[in-house]
Structure 1
Amino acid sequence: MAKTAAVGKRERRVEAARLGIIDAAEELLAERGAHGVTLDAVAERADVVVQTIYNRVGGRAALLLAVTQRAIAENRAYVDAAYALPVPPVERIRAAMAAYVRFATDKPHQFRTVTNPPDDPEVLAQVDDLIASHMTNLATALREAIATGTISPDFEPDVAAPALWAMASGVLSLDMRATGHPFSGDHRARMLDFFETLVERGMTTPEPR
């Protein structure tokens, strides 16, 4: 029993060290960009030696991948749940957009990683897979809304989905620009309301005259 408890305690310490290293890499990525995520900088921030990084996570590429995988998991936790709601398609679209806004607000570091990932082939491939999944979900909801007559049949879901995602990301990114002068919460909320109004007016099937 004592041996099992000791093993469990050691595993918890190992996992805590791994998570602390990823936390440090995530902070450095947000503060300095991908070029700032060096093994020496992460070791200093996490208060470990470089060899511990290799033992617990891996080299620099593995660090960037671990940070990206965490961001992807956080993004999915917010947005996938919205697409799974048992509500009409237009409501799912609204819920997904609201979830994406909450993700950007609650997890700004992860939002930046997803929208501006490090230039690493494996990282970019995983982010591309995430975006493709979101585009599939959004395009499916758009098709269903068109079929029910709640969205204009003029829309091409496979074109509209990435356009809507890109526009939402752009509006949200404005508040995270590196000028040091973020928008006030009220101004940001008004911009997002304006964006939603434009989207809804553009997509809604016009009333017959």
Structure 2
Amino acid sequence: MPSFPVPPSPHEIGASSPPPTRTQRRAAANRQSVIDAAREIVATEGMGALTLEAVAERADVAVATIYNRVGNRSSLLLAVAEQAMEESRAYMDAAYAAEGTAEERLLLVATTWVRFARERPHEFRILVEPADQPDAVARLAELTRTQNAKLADAIRAGMATGAVRPDLEPDQVATALWASLNGVLALAWRPGELRVEAAALDQLMAAFIAIAADGLRAH
């Protein structure tokens, strides 16, 4: 089952490790191709379409390879969800680390999340509509709480400088903003007339960000 890298212990720091062998590189490539295939199936066809046979066909591997490299269907769903969240963190961590006023930082966080949704639509959809799989949902919820806590900290920093309204509860606001932003972005894949095209979605996003910024701003 996939997991996040574990930091090395002090006695391990500085120790050299041999480069991966050709067999190890091939195994890692097979594993990644399996996860990529599963991610595409989930994002484009839905959770119900995710079977080991479908993944094997798309990745052009044997079903036994999936078991050997990733595991069963539950392990595959967890690997897909974790990879999606890791890719989102690559975007968001840089935004949270940026300097600037509270409003500038919060605006950067919002626009970065929009950019992630545009550039990584499969990963974004997996995060917004996760699999109904307890292990995957639990892991995704844990990672989401971690990211929302960073947003809440940015809001608190704004309160400390007087830029953000002091009567708000940062954790609640962070969750509300996250859910609202996801809801607007999800309009891009709604069926039929419920779908909003890119140009109109840009206008909706601009309206949402303007309203959110005004609601947070101390007057």
The one-letter code sitting in structure 1 at the alignment partner of 2:61 is V
Check conservation: 2:38, 2:50, Cα contact below 8 A: yes
Check conservation: 1:93, 1:141, Cα contact below 8 A: yes
Q: What TM-score do you get using the length of structure 1 for normalisation?
A: 0.90
Pairs within 5 Å for 1:193-208: 193-206=206-219
Give 1:182 shift: 4.4
Equivalence for 1:148: 161
Give 1:180 shift: 8.1
SS at match of 2:190: coil
Equivalence for 1:106: 119
Query: In 2, distance between residues paired with 1:118 and 1:191?
Result: 27
Equivalence for 2:92: 79
Query: Unpaired runs of 5+ in structure 2?
Result: 1-17
Give 1:135 shift: 1.7
Query: In 2, distance between residues paired with 1:137 and 1:69?
Result: 18
Query: In 2, distance between residues paired with 1:12 and 1:183?
Result: 42
The one-letter code sitting in structure 2 at the alignment partner of 1:37 is L
Deviations, residues 59-103 of structure 1 (Å, cap 9, x unaligned): 111111111111010111111211111323322211111111011
Report % sequence identity.
Answer: 42
Query: In 1, distance between residues paired with 2:108 and 2:163?
Result: 16
Pairs within 5 Å for 1:10-159: 10-159=23-172
Query: In 2, distance between residues paired with 1:163 and 1:181?
Result: 22
Query: In 2, distance between residues paired with 1:184 and 1:88?
Result: 32
The more displaced of 25-34 and 61-70 is 25-34
SS at match of 2:98: coil
The more displaced of 19-28 and 86-95 is 86-95
Equivalence for 1:172: 185
Query: In 2, distance between residues paired with 1:168 and 1:185?
Result: 15
Equivalence for 1:9: 22
Query: In 1, distance between residues paired with 2:36 and 2:191?
Result: 21
Query: Unpaired runs of 5+ in structure 1?
Result: none
Query: In 2, distance between residues paired with 1:97 and 1:8?
Result: 42
Query: In 2, distance between residues paired with 1:28 and 1:177?
Result: 17
Deviations, residues 4-23 of structure 1 (Å, cap 9, x unaligned): 99x72222221111111111
Question: Higher RCO, 1 or 2 (CA under 8 Å, sep at least 6)?
Answer: 2
Size of the aligned set, in residue pairs, is 202
| Regions of 4+ moved over 6 Å | none
